[in-house]
Amino acid sequence: MPRRPCPCRPELRPILARAARTRRRGMCSFRSPTTAWVTSITEYTVNALNQIVQVVHAAASTDSAVPPFGYLEQFAYDANNNVTQHRTERRDDGALTSPSPVRWITKGIAYDSLDREISETISTDDVPAISLTTSYAYDNNGNLRKTVFPAGNAILRFCDERDLLTREVVLKNASSDLTDMTYNASVDSVTQYDYDGSGNVIQLTDPEGHMARSGYDGYGRKVVGFDPAFQKTTLVYDQAGNVLSRVAYGALGGATPAPSIPPSTQYPELSRQMGRVRRADTRFFKYDGTMLTPLTSDSNAGLGTTAAGDPLPQAHDGWTTSLVGYDRLGRVVRAVDDNGHATETRYDGLNRRIKSLMNVAFPFTLDSANPLNNRNAVDYLYDANGNVTEVTETEYGADRTGGSPRLFPSPQQHRSTFKYDSMNRPFEAKMVGRLGATPANLITTSVYDSRGNKIQVTDPAGGRSKKFYDGLNRLTKTEAGYFWNGSAESVPSNLINTSNPDGKITTTYSYDSNSRLTAVQDDNLRVTSFAYDNLNRQTRIIYPDASTLQVTYNKDSLETEGEHRDNQGYRIATTTQYDCLHRATEKTVDKSGAPWFVGSMRQAFEYDGQSRITRALDDEDLSDGFVDSEVALSYNSAGNVLSEAQTWRENIRGQFLTGTNIVTSQYEGTGFRASVTYPSLRTITFLADELNRSESIVDSYTGTIKYDYLGPSRILNRIYPNGTRLTMLSSPTDNVGAGYDDARRLVDFANKLNSTGADVARFTYGYDNVGNRRFERRVHEASGSNWKGETYAYDAVYRLINRKEGDLNASGVLQGTAPTTQDFTLDGLGNWKSHKKNSSTYNQTINSLNQYTVFNGPTGSRSLTYDFVGNLVQETLATGDQQYHYDFLNRLVTYLDTGRNLTTYRYDALGRRISKNLNGGTHTRFVYDGDRLIEERDETNTLVASYVYGLGSDEVLTRRRWSGGVASDLFYHTNALGSVMAVTSTAGAVVERYKYDAYGQVTFLSPTFTPLTSSAVYNNLLFTGRYFDSESQLYYYRARHYSPSLGRFLQRDPLGEVASLNLYNYVFNNPVNGTDPTGMVYEGGGFLVQRFGNKGPMRDIEARCSRLRTRCGSCMDTPRWKTSTKQESPRERPCTGQVGTLRDRRGETPS
Could you state, in order of their start, the residue ranges of all structural domains in the chain?
196-250
If you ran DSSP here, which 8-state letter would residue 995 be given? E
3-state secondary structure of 52: strand
Position 517 pLDDT exceeds 90: yes
Q: pLDDT per residue over 185-194, tens digit each?
A: 999 999 999 9
CB atoms within 10 A of CB 739: 25
Could you tell me which residues come within 8 angstroms of residue 94 by beta carbon, excluding any fewer than 6 positions away? Answer: 447, 448, 449, 450, 455, 456
Task: Report the pLDDT value the prediction gives residue 283, as an integer from 0 to 100.
Answer: 63
Mean residue pLDDT across the chain: 86
pLDDT tier for residue 400 given thresholds of 50, 70 and 90: confident
If you ran DSSP here, which 8-state letter would residue 495 be given? G
Task: At 41, give phi and psi (nearest 5°).
Answer: -120, 125
Task: Report the pLDDT value the prediction gives residue 656, as an integer from 0 to 100.
Answer: 87
Q: pLDDT per residue over 744-791, tens digit each?
A: 999 999 999 988 889 999 999 999 999 999 999 999 999 999 999 999
Give the Cα separation of 379 and 356 in Å (integer): 7
Give the Cα separation of 850 and 830 in Å (integer): 9
What is the SS3 assignment for 835-883? EEECCEEEECEECCCCCEEEEEECCEEEEEEECCCCCEEEEEECCEEEE
Give the Cα separation of 468 and 446 in Å (integer): 14
In which region does residue 597 sit, left (phi positive, over 0), alpha (psi from -120 to 50) or beta (all else)?
beta
Lowest-confidence region among 36-40, 690-694, 1094-1098:
1094-1098
Task: At 821, give phi and psi (nearest 5°).
Answer: -135, 150
- Beta strands 584-590 and 276-283 are unpaired
CB atoms within 10 A of CB 899: 9
Task: Report the pLDDT value the prediction gives residue 842, as an integer from 0 to 100.
Answer: 97
If you ran DSSP here, which 8-state letter would residue 690 be given? T
Give the Cα separation of 402 and 398 in Å (integer): 9
CA distances from 1107 to 599, 1094, 1103, 1118 (A): 19, 21, 6, 12
Lowest-confidence region among 122-136, 333-347, 886-900, 1027-1041:
333-347
3-state secondary structure of 1099: helix
Residue 767 near residue 1073 (C-beta atoms within 8 A): no
Give the Cα separation of 604 and 591 in Å (integer): 18
Question: Pick from 340, 338, 295, 301: which is nearest to 318 by CA?
Answer: 295
Task: Report the pLDDT value the prediction gives residue 61, as an integer from 0 to 100.
Answer: 86
Q: pLDDT per residue over 1100-1122, tens digit each?
A: 433 444 433 333 333 333 322 33
Give the Cα separation of 664 and 634 in Å (integer): 9
Task: Report the pLDDT value the prediction gives residue 270, as an integer from 0 to 100.
Answer: 38
Task: Report the pLDDT value the prediction gives residue 906, as an integer from 0 to 100.
Answer: 97
Position 1130 pLDDT exceeds 70: no
Residue 554 near residue 560 (C-beta atoms within 8 A): yes
Give the Cα separation of 832 and 1069 in Å (integer): 9
DSSP-assigned states of every residue in 574-618? EEEEE-TTSBEEEEEEE-TT-TT--S--EEEEEE-TTS-EEEEEE
Q: What is the pTM of this model?
A: 0.89
Residue 1105 near residue 635 (C-beta atoms within 8 A): no
Q: pLDDT per residue over 963-998, tens digit each?
A: 988 999 999 999 999 999 999 999 999 999 999 999
Q: pLDDT per residue over 568-579, tens digit each?
A: 889 999 999 999
Q: Which residue has the higher pLDDT, 384 or 864?
A: 864
Q: Which residue has the higher pLDDT, 64 or 35?
A: 64
Position 287 pLDDT exceeds 70: no
Q: pLDDT per residue over 600-649, tens digit each?
A: 999 999 999 889 999 999 999 888 888 999 999 999 888 899 999 999 99
Position 940 pLDDT exceeds 70: yes
Could you tell me which residues come within 8 angstroms of residue 1084 by beta carbon, excluding any fewer than 6 positions away? Answer: 771, 1070, 1073, 1074
In which region does residue 793 sit, left (phi positive, over 0), alpha (psi from -120 to 50) or beta (all else)?
beta
pLDDT tier for residue 294 given thresholds of 50, 70 and 90: low
Position 147 pLDDT exceeds 70: yes
Give the Cα separation of 831 and 280 in Å (integer): 54
695 Cα distance to chain centroid: 26
Task: Report the pLDDT value the prediction gives residue 274, as an integer from 0 to 100.
Answer: 41
Position 291 pLDDT exceeds 60: no
Question: Pick from 561, 1142, 895: which is nearest to 905 by CA?
Answer: 895
Position 693 pLDDT exceeds 80: yes
3-state secondary structure of 257: coil
Residue 591 near residue 1130 (C-beta atoms within 8 A): no
Position 405 pLDDT exceeds 80: no
The amino acid at 475: L
Position 1009 pLDDT exceeds 50: yes
pLDDT, mean of residues 851-867:
97
In which region does residue 495 sit, left (phi positive, over 0), alpha (psi from -120 to 50) or beta (all else)?
alpha
CA distances from 137 to 117, 118, 144, 778 (A): 9, 6, 6, 73
Report angle CA 662, 668, 672 to the nearest 5 degrees. 80
Q: Give percent above pLDDT 70 in the chain.
A: 83
3-state secondary structure of 1112: helix
Task: Report the pLDDT value the prediction gives residue 1119, as an integer from 0 to 100.
Answer: 29
